[in-house]
Amino acid sequence: MKQRDKLGQIQQHWDQALSRQKFPMSAMYHGLTEEHQRVPWRSVMCGNKARLRAVICLWLACHKKLSTKDRLRRFGMIQSSDCSICNCADESINHLFFNCSGTREIWGNILDWLGRRHDPREWDMELAWIIENTKGKGWKSALLKMATAETVYNVWHYRNSMCFGTVVDKQVIERNIIDNIVYRSWQYPTLRSHVAKLMM
Ligand SMILES: [Zn+2]
Protein backbone atom coordinates (compact mmCIF):
# COMPACT_ATOMS: atom_id res chain seq x y z
CA MET A 1 0.00 0.00 0.00
CA LYS A 2 2.95 2.31 0.62
CA GLN A 3 3.68 2.14 -3.12
CA ARG A 4 0.18 3.21 -4.23
CA ASP A 5 1.24 6.79 -5.04
CA LYS A 6 3.67 5.38 -7.59
CA LEU A 7 0.94 3.61 -9.52
CA GLY A 8 0.48 6.65 -11.74
CA GLN A 9 4.05 6.24 -12.97
CA ILE A 10 3.49 2.66 -14.00
CA GLN A 11 0.02 2.91 -15.52
CA GLN A 12 1.00 0.41 -18.15
CA HIS A 13 1.70 -2.32 -15.56
CA TRP A 14 -1.55 -1.50 -13.80
CA ASP A 15 -3.66 -1.65 -16.99
CA GLN A 16 -2.09 -4.98 -17.96
CA ALA A 17 -2.75 -6.38 -14.49
CA LEU A 18 -6.41 -5.38 -14.57
CA SER A 19 -6.95 -6.77 -18.07
CA ARG A 20 -6.03 -10.29 -16.90
CA GLN A 21 -8.42 -12.73 -15.29
CA LYS A 22 -6.12 -13.32 -12.37
CA PHE A 23 -4.36 -10.41 -10.67
CA PRO A 24 -0.60 -11.06 -11.07
CA MET A 25 0.82 -9.74 -7.80
CA SER A 26 4.41 -10.73 -8.67
CA ALA A 27 4.28 -8.77 -11.96
CA MET A 28 2.98 -5.72 -10.09
CA TYR A 29 5.73 -6.05 -7.50
CA HIS A 30 8.44 -6.14 -10.15
CA GLY A 31 6.79 -3.26 -11.99
CA LEU A 32 6.81 -1.19 -8.84
CA THR A 33 10.34 -1.97 -7.79
CA GLU A 34 12.47 -2.30 -10.91
CA GLU A 35 12.60 1.42 -11.76
CA HIS A 36 12.80 2.76 -8.25
CA GLN A 37 15.14 0.51 -6.34
CA ARG A 38 18.06 0.09 -8.68
CA VAL A 39 21.14 1.32 -6.92
CA PRO A 40 24.16 2.73 -8.77
CA TRP A 41 26.52 0.27 -7.01
CA ARG A 42 24.64 -2.75 -8.37
CA SER A 43 27.58 -3.66 -10.61
CA VAL A 44 29.91 -3.91 -7.60
CA MET A 45 27.64 -6.38 -5.81
CA CYS A 46 26.47 -8.53 -8.75
CA GLY A 47 28.60 -11.65 -9.17
CA ASN A 48 31.07 -10.50 -6.52
CA LYS A 49 33.20 -13.58 -5.78
CA ALA A 50 34.45 -12.39 -2.41
CA ARG A 51 33.42 -14.20 0.79
CA LEU A 52 29.74 -13.76 1.63
CA ARG A 53 30.58 -12.02 4.92
CA ALA A 54 32.73 -9.52 2.97
CA VAL A 55 29.98 -8.90 0.39
CA ILE A 56 27.44 -8.29 3.17
CA CYS A 57 29.81 -5.86 4.87
CA LEU A 58 30.26 -4.02 1.54
CA TRP A 59 26.48 -3.94 1.07
CA LEU A 60 26.10 -2.32 4.50
CA ALA A 61 28.85 0.20 3.69
CA CYS A 62 27.12 1.09 0.38
CA HIS A 63 23.92 1.70 2.35
CA LYS A 64 25.97 3.63 4.95
CA LYS A 65 24.54 1.36 7.63
CA LEU A 66 27.74 0.24 9.33
CA SER A 67 27.77 1.38 12.95
CA THR A 68 30.39 4.08 12.57
CA LYS A 69 30.82 6.45 15.50
CA ASP A 70 29.08 9.37 13.77
CA ARG A 71 25.90 7.24 13.60
CA LEU A 72 26.25 5.97 17.17
CA ARG A 73 26.61 9.55 18.41
CA ARG A 74 23.51 10.61 16.44
CA PHE A 75 21.57 7.85 18.20
CA GLY A 76 22.86 9.18 21.55
CA MET A 77 24.83 6.01 22.28
CA ILE A 78 28.29 7.62 22.60
CA GLN A 79 29.65 11.13 23.28
CA SER A 80 32.66 11.30 20.99
CA SER A 81 32.78 10.33 17.33
CA ASP A 82 36.56 10.60 16.91
CA CYS A 83 37.91 8.07 14.41
CA SER A 84 38.93 4.82 16.14
CA ILE A 85 42.02 4.55 13.94
CA CYS A 86 43.53 8.04 13.47
CA ASN A 87 41.67 9.96 16.19
CA CYS A 88 41.85 13.05 13.94
CA ALA A 89 38.40 13.25 12.31
CA ASP A 90 34.76 12.29 12.68
CA GLU A 91 34.42 8.56 12.13
CA SER A 92 32.01 8.29 9.19
CA ILE A 93 31.85 5.89 6.23
CA ASN A 94 33.27 8.67 4.06
CA HIS A 95 36.25 9.11 6.35
CA LEU A 96 36.93 5.49 7.28
CA PHE A 97 36.86 4.25 3.65
CA PHE A 98 39.44 5.55 2.53
CA ASN A 99 40.14 9.08 3.62
CA CYS A 100 41.59 7.99 6.96
CA SER A 101 45.39 8.01 7.05
CA GLY A 102 45.28 4.53 8.60
CA THR A 103 43.15 2.88 5.90
CA ARG A 104 44.08 4.83 2.78
CA GLU A 105 47.48 3.11 2.72
CA ILE A 106 45.90 -0.36 2.91
CA TRP A 107 43.56 0.27 -0.05
CA GLY A 108 46.37 2.02 -1.95
CA ASN A 109 48.63 -1.03 -1.57
CA ILE A 110 45.85 -3.41 -2.65
CA LEU A 111 45.26 -1.28 -5.76
CA ASP A 112 49.01 -1.29 -6.45
CA TRP A 113 49.02 -5.09 -6.21
CA LEU A 114 46.14 -5.18 -8.71
CA GLY A 115 48.17 -2.95 -11.03
CA ARG A 116 45.71 -0.06 -10.72
CA ARG A 117 47.13 3.44 -10.84
CA HIS A 118 44.71 5.34 -8.66
CA ASP A 119 44.94 7.49 -5.53
CA PRO A 120 42.28 6.55 -2.95
CA ARG A 121 39.74 9.22 -2.10
CA GLU A 122 36.84 9.40 0.32
CA TRP A 123 34.09 6.77 0.07
CA ASP A 124 31.53 8.53 -2.16
CA MET A 125 34.14 9.40 -4.78
CA GLU A 126 35.93 6.09 -4.40
CA LEU A 127 32.71 4.14 -4.84
CA ALA A 128 31.94 6.14 -8.00
CA TRP A 129 35.38 5.20 -9.36
CA ILE A 130 34.86 1.54 -8.41
CA ILE A 131 31.41 1.50 -10.10
CA GLU A 132 32.96 2.97 -13.25
CA ASN A 133 35.65 0.29 -13.25
CA THR A 134 33.45 -2.74 -12.51
CA LYS A 135 30.95 -2.37 -15.34
CA GLY A 136 32.65 -4.93 -17.58
CA LYS A 137 32.66 -8.69 -17.16
CA GLY A 138 36.42 -9.20 -17.52
CA TRP A 139 38.92 -10.42 -14.95
CA LYS A 140 40.02 -6.88 -14.02
CA SER A 141 36.49 -5.99 -13.04
CA ALA A 142 36.00 -9.28 -11.14
CA LEU A 143 39.20 -8.79 -9.12
CA LEU A 144 38.41 -5.15 -8.30
CA LYS A 145 34.96 -6.16 -7.02
CA MET A 146 36.46 -8.84 -4.79
CA ALA A 147 39.22 -6.52 -3.60
CA THR A 148 36.65 -3.85 -2.67
CA ALA A 149 34.56 -6.27 -0.60
CA GLU A 150 37.54 -7.92 1.11
CA THR A 151 39.17 -4.56 1.88
CA VAL A 152 35.98 -3.02 3.31
CA TYR A 153 35.48 -6.14 5.46
CA ASN A 154 39.08 -6.20 6.72
CA VAL A 155 39.20 -2.43 7.33
CA TRP A 156 35.98 -2.71 9.33
CA HIS A 157 37.54 -5.47 11.44
CA TYR A 158 40.68 -3.36 11.84
CA ARG A 159 38.52 -0.50 13.08
CA ASN A 160 36.70 -2.82 15.53
CA SER A 161 40.02 -4.14 16.86
CA MET A 162 41.27 -0.58 17.41
CA CYS A 163 38.03 0.24 19.26
CA PHE A 164 38.80 -2.54 21.74
CA GLY A 165 42.46 -1.58 22.04
CA THR A 166 43.92 -4.47 20.02
CA VAL A 167 47.05 -3.58 18.07
CA VAL A 168 46.89 -4.88 14.50
CA ASP A 169 49.74 -4.92 12.00
CA LYS A 170 48.56 -3.28 8.76
CA GLN A 171 50.80 -5.56 6.71
CA VAL A 172 48.94 -8.56 8.16
CA ILE A 173 45.63 -6.98 7.05
CA GLU A 174 46.94 -6.43 3.51
CA ARG A 175 48.29 -9.99 3.40
CA ASN A 176 44.93 -11.30 4.56
CA ILE A 177 43.04 -9.34 1.87
CA ILE A 178 45.37 -10.57 -0.87
CA ASP A 179 45.30 -14.18 0.42
CA ASN A 180 41.51 -14.18 0.29
CA ILE A 181 41.44 -12.73 -3.23
CA VAL A 182 43.95 -15.36 -4.40
CA TYR A 183 42.19 -18.24 -2.64
CA ARG A 184 38.75 -17.30 -3.99
CA SER A 185 40.00 -16.54 -7.52
CA TRP A 186 41.82 -19.86 -7.76
CA GLN A 187 38.46 -21.65 -8.04
CA TYR A 188 37.72 -19.85 -11.32
CA PRO A 189 39.83 -20.86 -14.36
CA THR A 190 39.16 -17.47 -16.00
CA LEU A 191 40.78 -15.68 -13.05
CA ARG A 192 43.49 -18.16 -12.03
CA SER A 193 46.12 -17.25 -14.64
CA HIS A 194 45.72 -13.52 -14.04
CA VAL A 195 46.05 -13.89 -10.29
CA ALA A 196 49.10 -16.12 -10.79
CA LYS A 197 50.76 -13.27 -12.74
CA LEU A 198 49.94 -10.78 -9.98
CA MET A 199 51.70 -13.07 -7.49
CA MET A 200 54.96 -13.16 -9.47
ZN1 LIG B 1 40.67 8.13 10.72
CA angle 45, 177, 162 (to 5 degrees): 100
Confidence band for 136, pLDDT divided at 50, 70 and 90: confident
Average pLDDT of span 128-134? 96
Please list the helix, strand and coil fractions of the chain in percent, rounded to the nearest 5, in that order: 65, 0, 35
pLDDT at 36: 55
Q: Which residues of 115-154 are buried (b: 16+ CB within 10 A; e: fewer)?
A: eeeeebbbbeebbeebbebbeeeebebbbbbbbbbbbbbb
pLDDT at 112: 97
User: Is the confidence at residue 197, as pLDDT, over 80?
Assistant: yes
Cα 84 to ligand 1 centre (Å): 7
Cα 171 to ligand 1 centre (Å): 17
d(CA 24, CA 27): 5
**Are residues 116 and 146 in contact, defined by beta-carbon separation less than 8 angstroms?**
no
pLDDT at 37: 65
Looking at the DSSP bridge assignments, the partners of residue 90 are 82
Cα 86 to ligand 1 centre (Å): 4
**Are residues 93 and 68 in contact, defined by beta-carbon separation less than 8 angstroms?**
yes
d(CA 141, CA 11): 38
**Are residues 14 and 27 in contact, defined by beta-carbon separation less than 8 angstroms?**
no
Cα 162 to ligand 1 centre (Å): 11
More confident residue, 18 or 99: 99
Mean pLDDT in the chain?
A: 90
Q: Which range, 11-20, 34-43, 157-166, is most confident?
A: 157-166
Confidence band for 49, pLDDT divided at 50, 70 and 90: very high
Cα 45 to ligand 1 centre (Å): 26
Ligand 1 is an ion; residues with CB less than 5 A from it: 83, 85-86, 100
pLDDT at 26: 75
- Give 139-175 pLDDT, tens digit per residue: 999 999 999 999 999 999 999 999 999 989 999 999 9
Cα 93 to ligand 1 centre (Å): 10
- Give 176-196 pLDDT, tens digit per residue: 999 999 999 999 999 999 999
User: Is the confidence at residue 56, as pLDDT, over 60?
Assistant: yes
Cα 88 to ligand 1 centre (Å): 6
Q: Is 90 helix (H, G, I), strand (E, B) or coil?
A: strand
Cα 117 to ligand 1 centre (Å): 23
Average pLDDT of span 102-118? 96
d(CA 127, CA 47): 17
Output the DSSP codes for 28-72: HHHHHHHTTS--TTHHHHTT--S-HHHHHHHHHHHTT-S--HHHH
Cα 29 to ligand 1 centre (Å): 42
